[in-house]
Amino acid sequence: MAQAGFNPFHMAQAQFDKVADLLDLDEGTRELLRNPIREYHFSIPVKMDDGTTKVFRGFRVQHNDARGPGKGGIRFHPQETVDTVKALATWMTWKCAVVDIPLGGSKGGVVCNPHNLSMREQESICRGWVRQVAKNVGPINDVPAPDVMTNPQHMLWMLDEFETIQGAKYPGFITGKPVGMGGSLGRTEATGYGVIYTLREALKEHNVDIAKTTAACQGFGNVSQYAIQLYTQLGGKVIAVSCWDEPDQKSYTFRKTSGITFEELIGITDKFGTIDKEKAKTMGYEILPGEDWISQDVDILIPAALENQVRGDNVTKISPRVKFVAEGANGPTTPEADKVLEERGIFVIPDFLANAGGVTCSYFEQVQCNMNYFWTKEEVLEKLDTKMTVAFKAVSELAKKKNLYMRDAAYVISIQRVARACKDRGWV
């Protein structure tokens, strides 16, 4: 979902161009990698509960599949745009490459608001989406997954439609399935925990005791909740969380300087993610404007809500105490703000590294489906920790060796891996 005046795809291309220049990438490879290989735009007609037919706009973008089948979620959002989907597909390519899993980058979306749709209407959209792209996706060419406002139930309807069309069972067609129906244990925690595995390593490298740190988070959804859970388990203290309020149509920051816990806040959050302000007040929270998460006097910021949140106009509000930013969301920092973070010497764990835990666990789900044998949650999380830690160390070592900003170092590793695969295949 793009906000007015902000084009995430232009941002993804600007980030790529910076490192392509640094690597002196040849023209052909540069042209191939700065655009998606394939884009599908289609209409999904749905018979609504009131008897009318409504047509929803759907997309699937395949950015690059040189390293393996495309992988990427499907978003349902009223302000979804193809440029957002293109940016996210591009970031998926870099994300899979930086954690070195044998997958490429894709993303999909439907312009719709599931909050205003019945379950039957949502099921029709899911099945319609699959019917439009069934020939172009699948376990060996492009594997979808849940993303913003889609969940395991949506994935199961999509799987069922795909298997009906194919006339066979294809559990590897889609990931994020319910546990017991081909889903992996640990997937719910994976992205948030992955953010904290990388943050833990960053703090270790800087000789900072996590138990003596404080953090502020933007978002209280899947990524943020589990990031908060693991960070507090490791001894860190989250003092502020910013979150969208559906009835008020604006965001608020919930602050408690003595520290919050995941369990406490989840108990007063409704199914649309809105935190009950009155209950929060009785539990000792101050209710501040939504943007205030960024100006808190903390050591760590975790933007884990949506893109375009740390910008030129608010980056100066970041407290001088902040030394680490762990990007849980995709594209939370604009290039303008990124420059300021770099100049200030803030250690940024870039989005496509920090939040790669989700796709890594999706890859584990595919592996388990292929074996038809499922690991315990502990096994999944241990393998995830290893993957994330190895990826973090490779990026951080390169950053130190070549004196690069962390985002640029992560891009160097990813672009080199993908460019090498394209070259070895004889594409460029």
Active-site positions read 107
Least separation in angstroms between CB 201 and ligand NAD: 18
Figure out which of the listed residues 108, 358, 364, 398 binds ligand NAD, where binding follows CB under 6 A.
358
8 Å CB contact between 113 and 71: no
Does 223 engage in binding with ligand NAD (CB under 6 A)?
yes
Beta bridge partners of 349: 326
Using the contact rule CB under 6 A, the part of the chain among 38-46, 230-238, 326-334, 363-371 near ligand NAD is 326-334
Using the contact rule CB under 6 A, the part of the chain among 49-57, 135-143, 201-209, 328-336 near ligand NAD is 328-336
Does 306 engage in binding with ligand NAD (CB under 6 A)?
yes
Write out the two tokens for 381.
């999380």
Tell me the C-alpha distance between 326 and 64, whole Å.
26
Tell me the C-alpha distance between 71 and 91, whole Å.
11
Contact positions with ligand NAD (CB under 6 A) in 251-290: 251, 273, 290
Least separation in angstroms between CB 113 and ligand NAD: 13
Total residues interacting with ligand NAD, rule: CB under 6 A: 24
Figure out which of the listed residues 328, 346, 384, 405 binds ligand NAD, where binding follows CB under 6 A.
328
Least separation in angstroms between CB 401 and ligand NAD: 28
Does 114 engage in binding with ligand NAD (CB under 6 A)?
no
Q: Parallel, antiparallel, or unpaired for β 214-218 and 237-245?
A: parallel
For the chain, how many helices (H) and strands (E)? 14, 12
Write out the two tokens for 73.
């979620």
Q: Number of C-alpha atoms within 13 angstroms, CB side, residue 24?
A: 0
Least separation in angstroms between CB 338 and ligand NAD: 16
Least separation in angstroms between CB 55 and ligand NAD: 25
Figure out which of the listed residues 329, 337, 341, 395 binds ligand NAD, where binding follows CB under 6 A.
329
Of 220 and 231, nearer to ligand NAD (C-beta) is: 220
Of 251 and 389, nearer to ligand NAD (C-beta) is: 251
Contact positions with ligand NAD (CB under 6 A) in 228-247: 242-244
- Per-position x/- string for 186-205, each x denoting binding to ligand NAD as judged by CB under 6 A, each - no binding: -----x--------------
Of 20 and 369, nearer to ligand NAD (C-beta) is: 369
Does 304 engage in binding with ligand NAD (CB under 6 A)?
yes
Of 29 and 106, nearer to ligand NAD (C-beta) is: 106
Q: Which residue bears the tokens 């975790």?
A: 302
Least separation in angstroms between CB 229 and ligand NAD: 13
Beta bridge partners of 64: 105
Tell me the C-alpha distance between 317 and 48, whole Å.
46
Of 236 and 358, nearer to ligand NAD (C-beta) is: 358
Write out the two tokens for 219.
């978002």
Amino acid at 36: P
- The closest of 62, 87, 74 to 174, measured between CA atoms, is 74
Of 163 and 286, nearer to ligand NAD (C-beta) is: 286
Q: Over 315-381, what HEC string results?
A: HHHCCCCCCEEECCCCCCECHHHHHHHHHCCCEEECHHHHCCHHHHHHHHHHHHHHHCCCCCHHHHH
DSSP string, 222-237: HHHHHHHHHHHHTT-E
Number of residue whose CB is nearest ligand NAD: 221
Write out the two tokens for 95.
């994300």
294 DSSP assignment: G
* Residue 72 exposed, middle or buried by CB count within 10 Å (0-12, 13-18, 19+): buried
Tell me the C-alpha distance between 304 and 243, whole Å.
10
Least separation in angstroms between CB 29 and ligand NAD: 26
Of 230 and 329, nearer to ligand NAD (C-beta) is: 329
Does 148 engage in binding with ligand NAD (CB under 6 A)?
yes
Q: What are the strands, taking DSSP E only, across 184-309?
A: 214-218, 237-245, 250-260, 286-289, 300-303
Figure out which of the listed residues 221, 238, 295, 333 binds ligand NAD, where binding follows CB under 6 A.
221
Tell me the C-alpha distance between 60 and 68, whole Å.
17
Write out the two tokens for 137.
């996706």
Does 305 engage in binding with ligand NAD (CB under 6 A)?
yes
Does 153 engage in binding with ligand NAD (CB under 6 A)?
no
Least separation in angstroms between CB 307 and ligand NAD: 6
8 Å CB contact between 192 and 228: yes
Point out which residues bind ligand NAD (CB under 6 A): 147-148, 191, 218-224, 242-244, 251, 273, 290, 304-306, 328-330, 355, 358
